[in-house]
Amino acid sequence: MEKIASFKIDHTRLLRGIYVSRKDYLEGGDVVTTFDIRMKLPNREPAVSQSALHTIEHLAATYLRNHKQWGDKIIYWGPMGCCTGNYLLLKGDLESHDIVPLMQELFHWVSEFDGEIPGANAHDCGNYMLNNLPMAKWEARKYYIEVLQNIQPENLVYPED
């Protein structure tokens, strides 16, 4: 079987950042852009805990789908299996720099969130007890301050082979 594109990225050189993972061109001319929202250096620093990543998922999905400018373009927000970041799927032919302000706004909001985690109850979620708001806020703040506030070109384009 041929290796998929995301497994061809050199994860030993991948930085934290915002990357276009793929673009899908649909019938009718629509485009779906998949973003790699990489919060951790793969294999070089501890991954985000499952409970913090789950909380970030609940907060980010809720925030993004309710966003006045971007809400109708959001297809999906969800965690990576390796727990080093998230995937964001958006309608449109977009580049990493297009969503930097949105990611800055989102991660700042998550880092400051105070209240009940949306959907974190037995009725709304399949594993509602797997949440950790303090760690989600800590991880969001770390990513916001260390990466998003002063994002560089090397944090917006996958490393070349």
* pLDDT tens digits, 34-53: 999 999 999 999 999 999 99
Cβ atoms of residues 40 and 48 within 8 Å: yes
What global pTM score does this model have? 0.96
- Residue 3 pLDDT class (50, 70, 90 cuts): confident
Q: In this predicted model, what pLDDT tens digit does every residue of 141-158 receive, in sequence order?
A: 999 999 999 999 999 999
Please determine, for residue 161, whether its predicted confidence score (pLDDT) is greater than 80: no
Q: Half-sphere exposure of 150 toward its Cβ, with a 13 Å CA cutoff?
A: 3
Question: Which letter does DSSP use for residue 139 in this model?
Answer: H
Could you give all domains of the chain from N- to C-terminal order, each with its CATH number? 13-149 (3.30.1360.80)
- 71: number of Cβ within 10 Å: 11
